[in-house]
Protein backbone atom coordinates (compact mmCIF):
# COMPACT_ATOMS: atom_id res chain seq x y z
CA UNK A 1 0.00 0.00 0.00
CA UNK A 2 2.74 2.34 1.03
CA UNK A 3 4.71 1.40 -2.06
CA UNK A 4 1.79 2.19 -4.33
CA UNK A 5 1.42 5.55 -2.64
CA UNK A 6 5.06 6.34 -3.21
CA UNK A 7 4.93 5.23 -6.82
CA UNK A 8 1.80 7.27 -7.38
CA UNK A 9 3.42 10.34 -5.88
CA UNK A 10 6.51 9.90 -8.00
CA UNK A 11 4.53 9.49 -11.20
CA UNK A 12 2.37 12.48 -10.31
CA UNK A 13 5.43 14.58 -9.61
CA UNK A 14 7.10 13.61 -12.85
CA UNK A 15 3.85 14.32 -14.69
CA UNK A 16 3.71 17.74 -13.09
CA UNK A 17 7.28 18.53 -13.96
CA UNK A 18 6.75 17.50 -17.55
CA UNK A 19 3.73 19.81 -17.69
CA UNK A 20 5.72 22.62 -16.16
CA UNK A 21 8.35 22.05 -18.79
CA UNK A 22 5.81 22.10 -21.60
CA UNK A 23 4.57 25.51 -20.48
CA UNK A 24 7.55 27.33 -21.92
CA UNK A 25 8.43 25.01 -24.75
CA UNK A 26 7.66 27.73 -27.28
CA UNK A 27 9.94 30.18 -25.45
CA UNK A 28 12.77 27.65 -25.34
CA UNK A 29 12.43 26.99 -29.07
CA UNK A 30 12.33 30.73 -29.70
CA UNK A 31 15.62 31.26 -27.85
CA UNK A 32 17.46 28.37 -29.43
CA UNK A 33 16.39 29.34 -32.90
CA UNK A 34 17.39 32.97 -32.28
CA UNK A 35 20.80 31.95 -30.92
CA UNK A 36 21.44 29.45 -33.75
CA UNK A 37 20.44 31.96 -36.41
CA UNK A 38 22.50 34.77 -34.84
CA UNK A 39 25.64 32.67 -34.54
CA UNK A 40 25.18 31.24 -38.05
CA UNK A 41 24.74 34.65 -39.63
CA UNK A 42 27.66 36.23 -37.77
CA UNK A 43 29.97 33.28 -38.43
CA UNK A 44 28.99 32.80 -42.06
CA UNK A 45 31.83 32.79 -44.60
CA UNK A 46 29.57 32.90 -47.63
CA UNK A 47 27.69 36.13 -46.83
CA UNK A 48 29.05 39.51 -47.83
CA UNK A 49 29.53 42.03 -45.03
CA UNK A 50 26.47 43.96 -46.14
CA UNK A 51 24.29 40.85 -46.28
CA UNK A 52 25.53 39.65 -42.93
CA UNK A 53 24.74 42.93 -41.28
CA UNK A 54 21.32 43.26 -42.93
CA UNK A 55 20.34 39.70 -42.01
CA UNK A 56 21.49 40.17 -38.44
CA UNK A 57 19.62 43.47 -38.15
CA UNK A 58 16.52 41.79 -39.50
CA UNK A 59 16.80 38.94 -36.99
CA UNK A 60 17.37 41.26 -34.01
CA UNK A 61 14.45 43.46 -35.02
CA UNK A 62 12.14 40.45 -35.23
CA UNK A 63 13.23 38.88 -31.93
CA UNK A 64 14.09 41.70 -29.55
CA UNK A 65 11.76 44.34 -28.15
CA UNK A 66 13.98 47.25 -29.04
CA UNK A 67 11.33 49.92 -28.47
CA UNK A 68 11.01 48.95 -24.84
CA UNK A 69 14.76 48.46 -24.35
CA UNK A 70 15.58 51.88 -25.85
CA UNK A 71 13.38 53.59 -23.29
CA UNK A 72 14.34 51.40 -20.36
CA UNK A 73 18.08 52.02 -20.68
CA UNK A 74 17.48 55.77 -20.72
CA UNK A 75 15.31 55.56 -17.56
CA UNK A 76 14.13 58.92 -16.23
CA UNK A 77 15.88 60.82 -19.02
CA UNK A 78 13.45 59.34 -21.54
CA UNK A 79 10.55 61.20 -19.97
CA UNK A 80 12.42 64.49 -19.84
CA UNK A 81 13.42 64.31 -23.50
CA UNK A 82 11.81 66.44 -26.19
CA UNK A 83 10.03 64.78 -29.13
CA UNK A 84 12.92 65.68 -31.38
CA UNK A 85 15.48 64.20 -29.00
CA UNK A 86 13.43 61.02 -28.71
CA UNK A 87 13.36 60.55 -32.47
CA UNK A 88 17.09 61.14 -32.78
CA UNK A 89 17.94 58.98 -29.81
CA UNK A 90 15.83 56.01 -30.95
CA UNK A 91 17.54 55.98 -34.29
CA UNK A 92 21.07 56.32 -32.91
CA UNK A 93 20.46 53.74 -30.19
CA UNK A 94 19.06 51.16 -32.60
CA UNK A 95 22.22 51.16 -34.68
CA UNK A 96 24.42 51.20 -31.59
CA UNK A 97 22.51 48.35 -29.97
CA UNK A 98 22.63 46.05 -32.99
CA UNK A 99 26.37 46.57 -33.42
CA UNK A 100 27.00 45.93 -29.74
CA UNK A 101 24.95 42.69 -29.76
CA UNK A 102 26.70 41.60 -32.93
CA UNK A 103 30.15 41.98 -31.39
CA UNK A 104 29.08 40.27 -28.15
CA UNK A 105 27.50 37.28 -29.90
CA UNK A 106 30.28 37.13 -32.48
CA UNK A 107 32.64 35.81 -29.78
CA UNK A 108 30.62 32.60 -29.76
CA UNK A 109 30.72 31.96 -33.49
CA UNK A 110 31.02 28.28 -34.30
CA UNK A 111 29.66 27.28 -30.90
CA UNK A 112 26.28 25.96 -29.91
CA UNK A 113 23.86 27.46 -27.40
CA UNK A 114 22.20 24.60 -25.50
CA UNK A 115 18.89 25.41 -23.83
CA UNK A 116 18.72 23.84 -20.36
CA UNK A 117 15.47 24.94 -18.75
CA UNK A 118 12.94 27.72 -18.43
CA UNK A 119 11.02 29.27 -15.57
CA UNK A 120 8.44 31.96 -14.97
CA UNK A 121 9.73 34.92 -13.01
CA UNK A 122 7.12 37.55 -12.26
CA UNK A 123 5.81 38.65 -15.66
CA UNK A 124 8.85 37.32 -17.47
CA UNK A 125 10.01 33.94 -18.68
CA UNK A 126 13.67 33.18 -18.11
CA UNK A 127 15.21 30.66 -20.49
CA UNK A 128 18.47 29.24 -19.19
CA UNK A 129 21.11 28.06 -21.61
CA UNK A 130 24.82 27.52 -21.82
CA UNK A 131 27.68 27.38 -24.27
CA UNK A 132 30.28 24.69 -23.72
CA UNK A 133 33.77 26.03 -24.24
CA UNK A 134 35.58 24.71 -27.32
CA UNK A 135 37.72 21.67 -26.65
CA UNK A 136 36.17 20.91 -23.25
CA UNK A 137 32.98 19.34 -22.02
CA UNK A 138 32.71 20.84 -18.55
CA UNK A 139 33.76 24.48 -18.92
CA UNK A 140 30.52 26.34 -19.53
CA UNK A 141 29.40 29.90 -20.10
CA UNK A 142 25.92 30.48 -18.75
CA UNK A 143 23.46 32.57 -20.74
CA UNK A 144 20.02 33.49 -19.39
CA UNK A 145 17.49 35.05 -21.73
CA UNK A 146 14.69 37.21 -20.33
CA UNK A 147 11.53 37.14 -22.41
CA UNK A 148 8.39 39.21 -22.22
CA UNK A 149 5.10 38.42 -23.89
CA UNK A 150 3.20 41.51 -25.00
CA UNK A 151 0.15 41.58 -27.24
CA UNK A 152 0.59 37.88 -27.95
CA UNK A 153 4.15 38.32 -29.14
CA UNK A 154 7.17 36.94 -27.32
CA UNK A 155 10.31 39.04 -27.49
CA UNK A 156 13.73 38.99 -25.88
CA UNK A 157 14.34 41.92 -23.58
CA UNK A 158 17.63 40.93 -21.96
CA UNK A 159 20.62 38.65 -22.24
CA UNK A 160 22.37 37.73 -19.02
CA UNK A 161 25.93 36.40 -19.45
CA UNK A 162 27.35 34.72 -16.34
CA UNK A 163 25.10 36.76 -14.06
CA UNK A 164 25.69 40.03 -15.89
CA UNK A 165 22.58 41.60 -17.41
CA UNK A 166 23.53 43.53 -20.53
CA UNK A 167 20.50 45.81 -20.26
CA UNK A 168 21.23 46.75 -16.65
CA UNK A 169 24.86 47.41 -17.56
CA UNK A 170 23.72 49.59 -20.47
CA UNK A 171 21.36 51.53 -18.23
CA UNK A 172 24.05 52.17 -15.64
CA UNK A 173 26.44 53.25 -18.35
CA UNK A 174 24.02 55.78 -19.82
CA UNK A 175 23.14 57.09 -16.34
CA UNK A 176 26.80 57.53 -15.52
CA UNK A 177 27.56 59.25 -18.83
CA UNK A 178 24.65 61.66 -18.37
CA UNK A 179 25.59 62.39 -14.76
CA UNK A 180 29.05 63.36 -15.96
CA UNK A 181 27.71 65.51 -18.81
CA UNK A 182 25.24 67.81 -17.02
CA UNK A 183 22.36 65.42 -17.84
CA UNK A 184 22.60 66.59 -21.44
CA UNK A 185 20.84 64.02 -23.62
CA UNK A 186 22.22 65.64 -26.77
CA UNK A 187 25.74 64.82 -25.60
CA UNK A 188 24.76 61.15 -25.30
CA UNK A 189 23.13 61.15 -28.74
CA UNK A 190 26.28 62.68 -30.25
CA UNK A 191 28.42 60.09 -28.49
CA UNK A 192 26.27 57.24 -29.82
CA UNK A 193 26.45 58.67 -33.33
CA UNK A 194 30.22 58.98 -33.16
CA UNK A 195 30.55 55.34 -32.05
CA UNK A 196 28.18 54.30 -34.85
CA UNK A 197 30.24 56.02 -37.54
CA UNK A 198 33.41 54.39 -36.16
CA UNK A 199 31.91 50.92 -36.54
Partner 1 sequence: MKSKLVLLFVLLSLSISGCASITKDEVLAENIATQKVSDPLEPFNRMVFSFNNVFDKYALRPVAILYRGVLPEFARNRITYALNNLSMPITTINNILQFEFGKAGISTARFVINSTIGILGFFDPAAYFGLEASSEDFGQTLAVWGIPKGPYLVLPLLGPSSPRDFTGLLSTSLLDPTYQIGNTANRELFRYYKMGTSTVNFRSENIELFDDLQNNSVDYYAAVRSFYNQSRNSQVSDNLEVSPSVNQDNLFNDFEEFDLDDTYIGPDISIDYPE
Contact positions toward partner 1, by CB under 8 A? 50, 53-54, 57-58, 61, 66-68, 70-72, 75, 78-79, 83, 86-87, 90-91, 94-96, 99-100, 103-104, 106-107, 119, 121-124, 126, 128, 133-139, 144, 146, 148, 150, 157-158, 160, 162-165, 168-169, 172-177, 180, 188, 191-192, 195, 198-199
CA angle 104, 53, 142 (to 5 degrees): 25
To partner 1, the closest distance from the beta carbon of 3 in angstroms equals: 27
Pairwise CA distance, residues 199 & 99, whole Å: 8
Alpha-carbon gap, residue 11 to 17, rounded angstroms: 10
In whole angstroms, what is the distance from residue 174 CA to residue 165 CA?
14
59, 51 in Cβ contact below 8 A?
no
* CB 44 within 8 Å of CB 52: yes
Cβ at position 110, least distance to partner 1 in Å: 12
Q: With respect to partner 1, which residue has the nearer C-beta, 23 or 119?
A: 119
Least separation in angstroms between residue 158's CB and partner 1 is 8
Amino acid sequence: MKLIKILLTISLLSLMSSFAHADFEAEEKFVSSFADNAINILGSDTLSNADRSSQFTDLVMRSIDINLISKFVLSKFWKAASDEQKTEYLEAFKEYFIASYASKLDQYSGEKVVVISSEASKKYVIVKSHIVRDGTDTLKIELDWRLLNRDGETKIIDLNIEGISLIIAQREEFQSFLNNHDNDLDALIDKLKSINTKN
